[in-house]
Chains A and B, each alone.
Chain A
Amino acid sequence: MERTIIKVCGGSGCKSQHSKEIFVKLCQLVWKESLPIKVNRTGCQGFCEMGPIVVVEPKGIFYSKVKVDDCEDIINAIKNDSVVERLLFVEHEVKGDFKRTTMKEIDFYKYQTRVLLKRCGIIDPYKIDDYISFDGFKALKKVLSVNSQNIIDVIKDSGLRGRGGAGFPTGLKWQFLKDAKSEEKFIICNADEGDPGSFMDRTIMEGDPFAIIEGMIICAYATGAKKGFIYCRAEYAESLEVLENALSECRKHNFLGINILGSDFSFDIEIKMGAGAFVCGEETALIRSIEGDRGTPAAKPPFPAQKGLWGRPTNINNVKTYAYVPQIITNGVKWFRSFGTEKSPGTAVLCLTGKVNNTGVIEVPMGTSLRDIVFKIGGGIKNDKKFKAVLTGGPSGGCLPKSCLDLGVDYESITQAGSIMGSGGVLVIDEDDSMVDIADFFLDFTISESCGKCTPCREGLKRMKLLIEKIKSGSGSEKDINELVRLGNIIKDSASCGLGQTAPNPVLTAIRYFRSEFEEFINKSNFENGSFKFYKITDKCVGCGLCKKNCPVGAISGDIGQVHIINDEKCIGCGKCYSVCPKSAIIKNKLMDKNGKDKD
Chain B
Amino acid sequence: MSVYSADTINEIDDLKEILDSAREVSDLIPVLKKVQDRKNYIPKGVVLFLSDKLGIPVSKIYGVITFYNYFNLDKKGRFVIAVCEGTACHIGGSSEILRAVKDVLGIVPGEITNDGKFSLEIVRCLGLCSFGPVMMINENEYTKLNYDKVREILEGFLNGENNN
Near A by CB (< 8 A), chain B positions 5-48 give 24-30, 32-33
B68 touches A276 (CB 8 A): yes
Q: In the docked arrangement, what's the CA distance between A400 and B143, Å?
A: 29
A278 interfacial by beta-carbon distance below 8 Å: yes
Interface-lining segment among A122-130, A284-292, A578-586: A284-292
* Pairwise interchain contact B67-A273, C-beta atoms closer than 8 A: no
A441 contacts B90, CB within 8 Å? Answer: yes
Whether the pair A273, B87 counts as a contact (CB closer than 8 A) is no
Q: Are B131 and A276 in contact (CB under 8 A)?
A: no
A359 to B132: give the CA distance in the assembly, Å: 11
Name the residue of chain A whose CB is nearest to the CB of B141: A16
- The answer to whether B64 and A293 touch across the interface, beta carbons within 8 angstroms, is yes
A87 to B129, CA, bound (A): 22
Asked if B71 is an interface residue, CB under 8 A from chain A, the answer is yes
Q: Which residues of A contact B129 (CB under 8 A)?
A: 48, 197, 199, 351, 353, 359
- Taking CB as reference atom, which chain A residue is nearest B143? A16
On chain A, the residues within 8 Å of B125 by CB distance are 194-199
Q: Given A196-B124, A197-B125, does the pair A273, B25 have CB atoms closer than 8 Å? A: no
| Chain B residue at smallest Cβ distance from A355 | B91
B48-75: CB near A (< 8 Å → 1, else 0) gives: 0000000010001001100111110000
At the interface, yes or no: A202 with Cβ under 8 Å from chain B?
Answer: yes
Residues of A within 8 A of B26 (CB): 290-292
B86 at the interface (CB under 8 A from A): yes
B residues less than 8 Å from A12 (CB atoms): 127-128
A277 touches B88 (CB 8 A): no
- How many chain B residues touch the partner (CB < 8 A)? 38
> Considering the chains assembled together, what is the distance between the CA atoms of A153 and B67 in angstroms?
41
Q: Is the CB of A51 within 8 A of B130?
A: yes
- Known A196-B125, A197-B125, A292-B25; judge A16-B131 contact (CB<8 A): yes
Q: In the assembled complex, how far is the CB of residue B7 from the closest CB belonging to chain A, in whole angstroms?
A: 26
**Residue of A17, A236, A442 contacting most chain B CB atoms (<10 Å):** A17
In the bound complex, residues from chain B placing their C-beta under 8 Å from that of A294 are: 63-64, 67-68
Is the CB of B126 closer than 8 A to any CB of chain A? Answer: yes
**Bound complex: CA A225 to CA B70 (Å):** 31
How close is B34's CB to chain A, nearest CB, in angstroms?
A: 10
Asked if A187 is an interface residue, CB under 8 A from chain B, the answer is: no
Name the residue of chain A whose CB is nearest to the CB of B110: A595
Say yes or no: is B80 at the interface (Cβ < 8 Å to chain A).
no
Whether B33 and A273, one on each chain, are in contact in the complex, defined by CB atoms closer than 8 angstroms, is yes
Q: Nearest B residue to A48 by beta-carbon distance?
A: B130
Contacts of B67 in A (CB 8 A): 277, 294-295, 451
B37 nearest in chain A by CB position: A234
The contact string, 1 if C-beta is below 8 Å from chain B, for chain A 180-198, is 0000000000000111111
Say how far A479's CB is from chain B's closest CB, in angstroms. Answer: 29
For residue A458, give the distance in angstroms from its CB to the closest CB of chain B.
Answer: 13
CB-nearest residue of chain B relative to A278? B124
Check: A360 CB closer than 8 A to any chain B CB. yes
Residues of B within 8 A of A355 (CB): 91
Measured between beta carbons, the chain A residues less than 8 angstroms from B127 are 12-13, 193, 198-199, 202, 235-236
Complex interface: chain B residues within 8 A of A395 (CB): 87
> What 1/0 mask marks residues of chain A from 274 to 316 whose CB sits below 8 Å from any chain B CB?
1111100000000001111111000000000000000000000
Determine the distance from Cα of A427 to Cα of B131 in the docked complex, in whole angstroms: 14
Docked CA distance A442–B29 (Å): 28
Interface residues of B (CB under 8 A from A): 24-30, 32-33, 56, 60, 63-64, 67-71, 85-88, 90-91, 110, 123-131, 134, 139, 141, 143
14 contacts between A and B (CB under 8 A): A48-B130, A48-B131, A194-B125, A197-B125, A199-B128, A273-B29, A275-B29, A291-B25, A292-B26, A292-B56, A293-B60, A354-B88, A360-B130, A395-B87
8 nearest CB pairs, A to B: A276-B69, A196-B86, A48-B130, A199-B127, A275-B68, A196-B125, A292-B28, A275-B70
